[in-house]
Copies of this chain bind each other. A is one copy, B any other.
Amino acid sequence: MNVAILGVGTVGSSVANILKRNQDIISARAGMKINPVVGVVKDLNKKRDCDIPLTDDINSVIARDDIDVYIELMGGVEEPYRVVSQILKKKKAVVTANKAMLAYHRYDLQNLASDTPFGYEASVAGGIPIIKSLREGLSANHIKKIIGILNGTSNYILTNMMKNSSKFEDVLKKAQELGYAEADPTFDIGGFDAAHKLLILGSIAYGVRGKPEDILIKGIKNVSSEDIFFALDFDYVIKLLAIAKKTDGKVELRVHPALIPKDNIIAKVNGVMNGISVYGDAVGESMYYGPGAGGEATASSVIADLIDIARGNKNPMLGYQPTSKLEELELLPINEIKTKYYLRLRVEDRVGVLAKITNLMSENHLSIDSFLQKPRQSSDEYTTLFFTTHISLESDVKRVMGLLQNEPYVKERPFMIRIEG
């Protein structure tokens, strides 16, 4: 089986290297040899740590007749979509690790692919076979809920904030030095990377459409050391979670920092690792853990897709036959989300303030589950109040936060973290 590698960067060069290094076992498993015959790059002068014939003329590679599978590892959205569409129209198989392209074009690609194999295991959670597990391993189940830690950078930062009581900015800097965070980390710590992956999982579980713009995406940059202390005190950890959940016949898709009980298995996914808990009606909870990024780990999934194609496996791209409409559930509007909330308020430390706040909450349907006020430092004019609520409506919480912000005794923008589980 001849493959072309479109994009020979971090992942692409690992694919070429592993295909060579593990050729023996890959052939035994695939039933044939898998040959990387050509790689496409932008800059032919760059040094590469793999030896595969290279070209910068992508069109000549697409035009070839001797390529069986094209591996798209260039990155981007519209450019790879254009390239992959062209390839699928020629009925040639495609494997990709490109979550951004899939977040926007997965249904277009599903239509184009039809019966042509299209693998994208590497697009979610790098080396963890979560696409396969969800689409094939759990195919008997109605999926009730998926809770994913899908961004290693954010998880590294939050884990280190918790373990070493460090501040966000300090840990981010360290992560950048160690190569766990990009120079511009917005895509990771802003929740967008996780959201792309969540949309893909949401399609497999629920057939739900929607683009990144349609769902709730909050990053971790406002999580403070005080939030961490509260979490530790109340037996929670804080994680950036990607959540897909079926509620009243609609689907919630949301990415945000969340408090989760520290005994949950997913709470134990630390550092740069990823983990995904899936709840099915038959199986109950299962959890998948592993490296969410890195050249070799991601290439492991890319090659698994190649072996699947060599074996002649035929899984419908999104897990259900395109002729049937799985559920095609609608997205739940963000304001209709119901969960528990944690609120942090910085207020004047004087008589009557707490009563005003709790009144305002109860008038707006927020009922308090727990409350914490730490002794004020003598140097400090203000005090911080921590609340958790019972199950509440997102719109109620937002209204309360807006109202509180305008109260004269509230000294900072109130901060809220959703609670999960």
Interface residues of A, Cβ cutoff 8 Å to B: 14, 18, 21-22, 25-31, 121, 127-129, 132-133, 136-142, 265, 268-269, 273, 280-291, 294, 296-297, 299-304, 307-308, 311-316, 319-321, 323-327
Contacts and interface: CB of A to CB of B under 8 A. Distances in A.
B313 A137 contact: no
11 contacts: A26-B139, A28-B324, A28-B325, A30-B321, A31-B324, A127-B284, A127-B286, A132-B136, A138-B300, A141-B300, A284-B297
Nearest to A267: B268
A21 B140 CA distance: 10
Contacts of A132: 129, 132-133, 136-137
B282 A127 contact: yes
Contacts of A138: 129, 300, 304
Contact of A25 (B25, B303, B327): B327
Given A287-B289, A289-B289, A313-B315, A282 B307 contact: no
A217 B311 CA distance: 35
B326 A283 contact: no
Contacts of A128: 137, 286
Contact of A280 (B27, B300, B313, B319): B300
What is the total number of copies of this protein in its complex?
2
Contacts of A303: 139-140, 282
Given A282-B18, A286-B290, A289-B289, A311 B315 contact: yes
B136 A304 contact: yes
Nearest to A284: B291
Given A18-B140, A25-B141, 13 more contacts: A18-B282, A28-B321, A28-B324, A31-B323, A129-B132, A129-B137, A139-B307, A280-B300, A284-B291, A286-B289, A287-B287, A311-B315, A312-B312
Contacts of A30: 139, 321
Contacts of A141: 22, 25, 300
Contacts of A323: 31
Nearest to A295: B282
A401 B117 CA distance: 58
A291 B316 CA distance: 27
Nearest to A143: B25
Contacts of A129: 132-133, 136-138, 286
A243 B297 CA distance: 22
A326 B31 CA distance: 11
A149 to B, nearest CB: 12
A297 B324 contact: no
A269 to B, nearest CB: 8
A30 B123 CA distance: 23
A142 to B, nearest CB: 6
A321 B30 CA distance: 7
Chain B CB within 10 Å — which of A21, A140, A142, A311 has the most?
A140
Contacts of A311: 313-316
B282 A265 contact: no
A286 B291 contact: yes
Contacts of A121: 137
A121 B331 CA distance: 33
Nearest to A265: B289
Contacts of A321: 28-31
Contacts of A284: 127, 290-291, 294, 296-297
